[in-house]
């Protein structure tokens, strides 16, 4: 692919003057500030927040305090696949499928009645080229026809606030990656062998099989047997918690996982006295209903994890509590509002209600962020994105010219722009692209990330790169009426789109 060049002019007083005949390559479109590499270990702010004002830190456990290796996903996939075959009597042929870690990404939507796995943007439009039935892509024309001649999905009719249906399910947590892979493989087998099936039954069976892996404790057993293999960055988790306690912060843990599993994992990462770091520990909390249902009382567990019967009138340090609800939690601790910062990996189950209903500050743990930033930092990505922006600016400004030659040039630019979009998408994931963007718009996942989190980062260890009184300032993202038409004035203001008279120089 050739990156074009054109003449440009700098305004009076600009840092550089160029003769009208001088040409620019795509490299010249990248000002030094744009070329600065992003830091995968940085914390990114959606909302201004000063850690100086935060007195209480709360944490989820799975994929927050405990980061898991990707090698856990094929174990979940294989176990759920075998449950489908042995307990749900699904065809033996499904056993030939293995887990493909490169197939799906987090944040996708699944239309249950259409057996369609797809990526939706912040405006509820399907990104064309990212709809799959089974393991096969669905043509764009068919997708549009399935939704009444439009790419728009009426999510307000088809899915609830937590993305759980009834018609469309959004896969939001990291554990959903093997679920999407298995669902796609089972659909692929049924379609490939001409087997009739009810889409709703198949979807429920697959999700139930995945649930059985968790409910039966299989995943817990694998992790407990080989914590060195499955638990990552345990020493960094210990460093984060110890640092916060040393600076006088109060800590609490609210997790859906059982005590025995959490206890073994925390002993591995932190040591036998891990509970002394936390002022309150709550297990099997049943989030997100923990945040919304005031009816479930707290139960205390003894040292062996057995339930106690006494009424809970206070939450004591060093003790373990089960279930309960946030309303009693707030009443007993008086930890309210923006002086509380809670970290979790699930935007709905962990963060949404806390931010919207209770005014806590929230931090999202997004492990995929590290890989995506490394891709963004590549020369290939920067070149591709810059030339896309250039072509978009040209298309916008030159569309008024409708003579035959101009239309031919515009058509070639449209084609090249689309090719670049597909190339950029494939850098992240061949089927679905980045979890944060469609071709141009933010994804629906990104929309929720911005709405429900003040901060987001690849792992909890990113906190170690900042002082405990650090203030995070979000970058001012220009609204469309505040921004230039394209990125030609992004940094120095001297980059200008070609004058109409210079069009002849654009090859």
Is 62 annotated as belonging to a binding site?
Answer: yes
Strands of the sheet with 136-137, listed across from one edge: 136-137, 126-133, 116-120, 109-111, 168-170
Kind of pairing, strands 136-137 and 126-133?
A: antiparallel
Read out DSSP for 31-43? -HHHHSPP-TT--
> Which candidate in 53, 60, 173, 488 is catalytic?
60
Is 345 annotated as belonging to a binding site?
Answer: yes
- Of residues 40, 203, 172, the one with CA closest to residue 105: 172
The encoded tokens of residue 217 equal 């404790």
Q: Are 170 and 109 in contact (CB under 8 A)?
A: yes
- Which DSSP helix (H) or strand (E) runs through 211? helix 199-215
Q: Nearest-5° angle of CA 223, CA 205, CA 140?
A: 100
- Of residues 108, 159, 107, the one with CA closest to residue 132: 108
- Answer yes or no: 62 catalytic: yes
- Answer yes or no: 188 catalytic: no
> Which candidate in 28, 62, 140, 226 is catalytic?
62
Read out DSSP for 126-140? EEEEEEEETTEEPPH
Tally: H helices and E strands in the chain: 17, 20
Is 310 annotated as belonging to a binding site?
Answer: no
- Which DSSP helix (H) or strand (E) runs through 250? strand 250-254
The encoded tokens of residue 344 equal 């979790």
Give binding residues as ranges: 60, 62, 345
Give binding residues for GMP as ranges: 62
Active site positions, annotated:
60, 62
């Amino acid at each position: 692919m050739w990156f074009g060049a054109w003449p440009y002019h700098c305004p009076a007083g600009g840092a550089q003057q160029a003769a009208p005949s001088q040409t620019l390559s795509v490299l010249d479109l990248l000002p030094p500030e744009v070329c600065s590499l992003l830091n995968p270990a940085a914390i990114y702010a959606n909302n201004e927040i000063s850690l100086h004002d935060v007195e209480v830190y709360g944490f989820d456990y799975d994929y927050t305090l405990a980061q898991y290796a990707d090698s856990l996903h094929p174990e979940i996939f294989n176990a759920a696949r075998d449950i489908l075959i042995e307990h749900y009597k699904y065809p033996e042929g499904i056993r030939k499928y293995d887990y493909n870690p490169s197939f799906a990404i987090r944040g996708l939507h699944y239309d249950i009645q259409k057996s369609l796995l797809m990526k939706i943007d912040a405006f509820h439009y399907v990104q064309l080229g990212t709809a799959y039935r089974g393991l096969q892509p669905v043509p764009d024309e068919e997708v549009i026809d399935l939704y009444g001649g439009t790419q728009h999905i009426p999510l307000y009719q088809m899915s609830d606030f937590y993305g759980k249906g009834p018609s469309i399910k959004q896969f939001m947590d990291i554990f959903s990656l093997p679920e999407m892979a298995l669902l796609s493989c089972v659909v692929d087998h049924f379609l490939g062998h001409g087997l009739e099936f009810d889409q709703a039954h198949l979807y429920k069976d697959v999700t139930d099989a995945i649930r059985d892996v968790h409910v039966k404790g299989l995943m817990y057993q694998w992790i407990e047997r080989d914590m060195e293999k499955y638990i990552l960055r345990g020493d960094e988790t210990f460093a984060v918690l110890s640092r916060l306690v040393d600076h006088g912060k109060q800590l609490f843990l609210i997790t859906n996982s059982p005590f025995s599993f959490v206890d073994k994992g925390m002993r591995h990462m932190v040591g036998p006295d891990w509970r002394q770091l936390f002022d309150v520990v709550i297990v099997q909390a049943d989030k997100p209903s923990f945040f919304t249902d005031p009816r479930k009382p707290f139960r205390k567990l003894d040292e062996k994890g057995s339930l106690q019967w006494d009424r809970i009138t206070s939450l004591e340090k060093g003790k373990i509590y089960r279930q309960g609800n946030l309303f009693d939690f707030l009443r007993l601790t008086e930890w309210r509002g923006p002086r509380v910062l809670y970290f979790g990996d699930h935007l709905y189950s962990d963060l949404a209600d806390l931010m919207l209903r209770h005014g806590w500050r929230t931090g999202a743990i997004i492990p995929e962020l590290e890989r995506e930033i490394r891709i963004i930092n590549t020369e290939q990505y920067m070149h591709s994105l810059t030339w896309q922006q250039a072509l978009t600016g040209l298309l916008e400004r030159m569309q008024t010219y409708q003579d035959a030659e101009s239309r031919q040039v515009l058509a070639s630019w449209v084609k090249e722009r689309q090719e670049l979009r597909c190339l950029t998408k494939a850098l992240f994931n061949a089927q679905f692209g980045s979890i944060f963007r469609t071709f141009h718009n933010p994804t629906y996942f990104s929309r929720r990330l911005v709405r429900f989190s003040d901060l987001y980062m690849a792992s909890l260890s990113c906190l170690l790169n900042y002082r405990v009184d650090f203030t995070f300032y979000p970058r001012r993202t220009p609204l469309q009426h505040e921004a230039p038409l394209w990125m030609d004035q992004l940094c120095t203001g001297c980059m200008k789109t070609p004058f109409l008279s210079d069009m002849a120089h654009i090859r």
